[in-house]
Structure 1
Amino acid sequence: MSHIKLRRTRTDRWTARARPAFLYVMYGLLLWSVPLGLIGGARPEVAAAIVRAMRAYFEALPEPLYALFGTGYLGYTAARAWGKVKGVER
C-alpha cells in the first residue's frame, strides 16, 4: 500500500505521460485518415501509394513486437481494473 501511495505522490513526468502518449499516437493515426481521404479524393494514385508504404511499414514490424505490446497493454488494463475492484486505486 505504501508503494502505491508513493507512486501517487511522485511527480515523475515520464510515468504521468505514459498513457496519454499511447492515446496521442492512436489519435494521430485516426486523424491521419482525414488528410489521406482528401488526398484520395484529389489524387487517388498518390493516396494508394501512401497506403501501400504505410502497410509495408507495419507489416515489416515483427509479430513478437505486436504480441509484446498487446500483452503489456492488456496486462496493465487488467492490473488497473483489479486495483480498482480491491479499492487500492481510485
Structure 2
Amino acid sequence: MTSSRRRIAGDRWTLRARPAFLYVMYGLLLWSVPLGLIGGVRPDVAAEIIRAMRAYFNALPEPLYALFGTGYLGYTAARAWGKAKGVER
C-alpha cells in the first residue's frame, strides 16, 4: 500500500464519514417515536412540529440534495469497485 493510500485509509475524518451519516438517519427514524407519542396526546402540537420540519426540508435547495446523492452514490460505487479489485477490505 502506498503512503498516500495509507494516509487516506487512516484519516479519522474518512473513517467517521459513513457512521456519522448512519447516525443522522437513525436519529431521524428514532424521532418518529416521541413524535408519535406527542401526536397521541397533543395532535395539534405534532401537526405543528411536522409543518415546521416540512418547511425546513423544503427550504433546502434542490442542488444540495443532488450534490449529496451524487456524492453518496459515487462513494458507494468507488467503494464497491475498490473491494472488487481487492484494493480495499
Residue identity matched to 1:4: R
Following superposition, the deviation at residue 36 of structure 1 comes to: 0.1
Matched-pair contact (CA < 8 Å) for 2:82–2:88: yes
- Tell me how large the CA RMSD over aligned residues is: 1.2
State how far apart, in whole Å, the 2-side matches of 1:6 and 1:21 are.
Answer: 20
| Residue number in structure 2 paired with 1:38 | 37
What is the correspondence of 1:37-76 to structure 2 with a 5 Å cutoff?
37-76=36-75
Identity level (%)? 83
Distance in 2, matches of 1:62 and 1:23, equals: 22
2:21 aligned partner: 22
**Unmatched runs of 5 consecutive residues or more in structure 1:** none
Distance of 1:83 and 1:4 partners within structure 2: 12
Deviation digits for residues 27-55 of structure 1, max 9, x if unmatched? Answer: 10000000000000001110000000000
Correspondence for 1:85:
84
Q: Which residue of 1 aligns with 2:8?
A: 7
Q: TM-score, normalised by structure 2?
A: 0.92
Higher RCO (C-alpha under 8 Å, 6+ residues apart) = 1
User: Structure 2: any 5+ residue segments left out of the alignment?
Assistant: none
